């Protein structure tokens, strides 16, 4: 007998225990992308979190934010702005550094990518500590944009990234309580 139960996005996530170190459960987004139905469900679910939100621009962070941001921007007929690692964008950029668990990193966006007053939604696959997205939001604001919503496919609540982003409206499709 065929299973009549419709699959949820969680059903497409491959969980890998003890990676990258013991005690961590790695939530693998590639298993979602490798299934056409899973990918469509992920994009549709993230896009649904943006319903009733006035948006001018979608910002996607390197690299999986590009994967989900691009189809959402296409579906909503909005421009897609990329936030990339330092040195990857060809035109004049602004940059923001942020702290990682071990060290720091720098992300950039084109100086002309956000116009003053534009309403921006930031999209990424996963919120852990929130550092990358906080850096992206600061750059949007530096250019005069307003971050109206931040959307994630998955949230690792145990790493408290949502608290770091508390001044923004944050939504996630899936919430895992651990790290």
User: Domains in the chain and their CATH numbers?
Assistant: 52-176 (3.40.50.2020)
Condensed to tens digits (0 to 9), the pLDDT of residues 25-63 reads 889 999 999 999 999 999 999 999 999 999 999 999 999
As a whole number, the mean pLDDT across the chain is 94
Alpha carbon distance 4, 110 (integer Å): 47
Q: Assess whether pLDDT exceeds 90 at residue 2.
A: no
Among 140, 151, 154, which Cα is nearest to 107's? 140
Give the mean model confidence (pLDDT) for residues 153-172: 96
Query: Percent of the chain, pLDDT > 90?
Result: 86
28 forms bridges with which residues in the sheet? 14
Q: Work out whether the CA dihedral 59, 60, 61, 62 comes out positive or negative.
A: negative
Select which of 2, 92, 101, 177 is catalytic. 101
Q: E strands, 20-142, where?
A: 25-28, 57-61, 80-85, 93-100, 103-110, 119-127
Please confirm whether the linkage preceding 63 is cis (ω < 30° from 0). Answer: yes
Higher pLDDT pick, 3 / 135: 135
Q: Among this protein's residues, is 163 annotated catalytic?
A: no
Condensed to tens digits (0 to 9), the pLDDT of residues 128-162 reads 999 999 999 999 999 999 999 999 999 999 999 99
Select which of 64, 84, 111, 164 is catalytic. 64
- pTM of the predicted structure, to 2 decimals: 0.94
Q: Among this protein's residues, is 92 annotated catalytic?
A: no
Condensed to tens digits (0 to 9), the pLDDT of residues 90-109 reads 999 999 999 877 789 999 99
Q: Given the structure tokens 């116009």, which residue do they identify?
A: 115
Residues belonging to the chain: 179
């Amino acid at each position: 007998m065929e299973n009549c139960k419709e699959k949820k996005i969680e059903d497409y996530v491959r969980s890998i225990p003890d990676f990258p170190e013991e005690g961590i459960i790695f939530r693998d987004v590639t298993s979602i992308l490798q299934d056409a139905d899973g990918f469509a469900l992920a994009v549709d679910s993230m896009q649904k979190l943006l319903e009733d939100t006035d948006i001018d621009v979608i910002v996607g962070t390197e690299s999986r934010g590009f994967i989900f941001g691009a189809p959402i921007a296409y579906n909503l007929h909005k421009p897609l702005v990329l936030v990339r690692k330092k040195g990857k964008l060809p035109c004049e950029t602004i940059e923001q550094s942020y702290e990682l668990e071990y060290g720091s990193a720098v992300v950039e966006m084109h100086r002309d990518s956000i116009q003053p007053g534009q309403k921006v939604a930031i999209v990424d696959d996963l919120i852990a500590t929130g550092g990358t997205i906080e850096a992206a939001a600061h750059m949007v604001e530096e250019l005069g944009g307003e971050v109206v919503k931040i959307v994630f496919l998955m949230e690792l609540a145990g790493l408290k990234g949502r608290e770091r982003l508390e001044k923004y409206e944050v939504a996630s499709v899936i919430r895992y309580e651990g790290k």
